Amino acid sequence: NAGVTQTPKFQVLKTGQSMTLQCAQDMNHEYMSWYRQDPGMGLRLIHYSVGAGITDQGEVPNGYNVSRSTTEDFPLRLLSAAPSQTSVYFCASSSPGRDTEAFFGQGTRLTVV
């Protein structure tokens, strides 16, 4: 069982470059989310989706775009990378319901120079 798969695992970008972080899940989960994790801080929600074709902004959405064309995939796009976007990014998926568990990918460590 693959669970939640993120690619790439590591990435270095130059300021102003764009890129897409990939996230795929094989558990048929309706809910998918992107978080960023910075030292000393809790994970912060960037964007989330409650189903194919439906996305919404989280706590820190500026500089990021998402789309959800299928249940399985939820890519995160950085439009014009900035050093402030240096972070570890996690994708998570879950089913609807009060006590369902969020499953996380292994993360993408992004450095913007």
Partner 1 sequence: KNQVEQSPQSLIILEGKNCTLQCNYTVSPFSNLRWYKQDTGRGPVSLTIMTFSENTKSNGRYTATLDADTKQSSLHITASQLSDSASYICVVKVKAAGNKLTFGGGTRVLVKP
Residues that bind partner 1 (CB under 8 A): 4, 31, 33, 35, 40-45, 48, 50, 56, 90, 92, 94, 96, 98-102, 104-107
Rounded to whole angstroms, how far apart are CA atoms 57 and 24? 19
Report the number of secondary-structure helices (H) and strands (E) in the chain. Answer: 0, 11
Distance CA 86, CA 76 (A): 14
Question: Rounded to the nearest whole angstrom, what is the least distance from the CB of residue 101 to partner 1 in the complex?
Answer: 5
With respect to partner 1, which residue has the nearer C-beta, 31 or 74? 31
Nearer to partner 1, 17 or 37 (CB): 37
Q: Least distance in Å: CB of 110 to partner 1?
A: 14
Phi-psi region of 6 (alpha: psi -120 to 50; beta: other; left: phi over 0): beta
